Structure 1
């Protein structure tokens, strides 16, 4: 693994690389509250076939972190990664996203289809099925009430207090955290401790237009979403840890309507953090899918 800082649209972004740069590129996009180093369990297992590139996304780690909430709109985040693909020599290439990284990966596939040859998502969601599930006021809305808490002013201070006690609780709540060794937790804490970073990480939630219903109180005035603009037309693999308590099955219902070339692979004994829990199984599933005709 080697690292570098590159200039994208006039701003610095920190990258981690695994594998031979002569191999086909695989762009790896992390979610909250992780950083590019979160791929260190999976990327080495893919590096014989791919040149894996994992950026710290905007607001995270050692990359550019503007203070303005508006700087974290989806179009800005997708634009960063479109610029990175151009920096890498242009597309199309394979893109993989987890959690919030999935939102950016979907954005690339939907709005810059010329840049994405294959889309791989690990416990992440397309915006339409997810928004529908959030608006119903059912189990997904209940599981996502933490979003409203994060959006509140000063949430970063509450999460950082007492050596990030609440942050650790939020990160690992209700799911298996046997993979989180003391050394790994120290690495995460160091990333969260960078000046202003926890605030800008949370800005992704504050800038999002997603509406979260209160449990039992459905939202009925959602705007009509333009299906044609939100299609994933490239081959799409969805990897799903069935024990996820943050993203529930309802969050992917109807995904086939937006991704006609969709393959779903589910895993027992894994949850939202499947990239850390079962990296060898994920790598084998990814490589077998990439080898299909």
Structure 2
């Protein structure tokens, strides 16, 4: 199926336990680039990057597990970080590649960090936008009161039923208002597309289950004494960070060079959390230098 936004092809791929929807652009003989969105988002969040990157790469932007047109397994445990990492591994293999360029924003960034930690041989280059590794986020909340207060929504999401009810109400109108306030210049038509994607039955509950699973995972690790403070990333890494992010403090970036054991470049951009949508030309130029020319 052809997409009205341009030369993008929609498709589905069956991986263990999940039928994944993706948008594809570029020539299949080029290097594979997988784009992972965050919350509250789906493949559409990469609409400014796909047409740019596909000139140089075989681009696959997916709806992550539980989002939009991808299937929605029931139960919090099905959204464990390891399951999300496994999805990416199977996707790379399904497209006939041994490795990929991995790009992730927000929750997609969290998955990308963990994928790089678990499967460094499957990554050629890593690019993360406005997201630390989950382990760092949990650690920072208890060291930095500003980050703890900024992460209040994580704790609200632990309440059963109520968060998904409120966020799903009236065609995800609350999320639409949030996106409108966080992404300067977003159009009414783009908000309409977001509301349609986020209103697909089960999407909001699945999205919130990411937070529930991660929170439980970290709590159980702390109780059992298996919580590791050591994180090592052994792939070339670039970080793009909108320093006006109100949810994630920019001081996270000070720790990235300690965990990245190979080249790590950090780019601070005058933008908010959705840096790739707010400043697409700036982000695209950085991606060109880091992922294609570098």
TM exceeding 0.5: yes
Number of the residue aligned with 1:165: 173
CA distance in 1, matches of 2:105, 2:13: 22
The answer to whether the 8 Å contact 2:180/2:191 transfers is: no
What is the aligned counterpart of 1:99 among 98, 106, 111? 106
Number of the residue aligned with 2:266: 264
The superposition leaves residues 114-156 of structure 1 with CA deviations (integer Å, 9 ceiling, x where unpaired) of 1111100011112333222112251011011011112211211
Number of the residue aligned with 2:9: 2
Across the aligned residues of Structure 1 and Structure 2, the Cα RMSD in angstroms comes to 2.3
What is the aligned counterpart of 2:228 among 225, 228, 232? 225
Q: CA distance change for structure 1 residues 272 and 212 in 2, over 3 Å: closer, same or farther? A: farther
Number of the residue aligned with 1:124: 131
SS in 2 for 1:151: coil
Q: Structure 1: which 5+ residue stretches go unaligned?
A: 214-218
Instruction: Give the C-alpha shift of residue 224 in structure 1.
Output: 4.4
Instruction: Give the C-alpha shift of residue 212 in structure 1.
Output: 9.7
Q: What are the residue-to-residue correspondences of 1:49-198 with 2, within 5 Å?
A: 49-154=56-161, 155-172=163-180, 175=182, 177-198=183-204
Instruction: Give the C-alpha shift of residue 3 in structure 1.
Output: 0.8
Q: CA distance change for structure 1 residues 164 and 127 in 2, over 3 Å: closer, same or farther? A: closer
SS in 1 for 2:157: helix
CA distance in 2, matches of 1:164, 1:82: 31
Q: CA distance change for structure 1 residues 84 and 140 in 2, over 3 Å: closer, same or farther? A: same
Normalising by structure 2, what TM-score? 0.89
The answer to whether the 8 Å contact 2:43/2:62 transfers is: yes
Q: CA distance change for structure 1 residues 77 and 224 in 2, over 3 Å: closer, same or farther? A: closer
Q: How many residues align?
A: 283
Q: Structure 2: which 5+ residue stretches go unaligned?
A: 1-7
CA distance in 1, matches of 2:293, 2:143: 37
Q: CA distance change for structure 1 residues 144 and 237 in 2, over 3 Å: closer, same or farther? A: same
CA distance in 2, matches of 1:77, 1:168: 25
Q: CA distance change for structure 1 residues 185 and 291 in 2, over 3 Å: closer, same or farther? A: closer
Number of the residue aligned with 1:282: 283
35-44 or 156-165, larger mean C-alpha shift:
156-165
The superposition leaves residues 215-267 of structure 1 with CA deviations (integer Å, 9 ceiling, x where unpaired) of xxxx9x9864152xx31111100001111111112333322221022100111
Normalising by structure 1, what TM-score? 0.89
186-195 or 26-35, larger mean C-alpha shift:
186-195
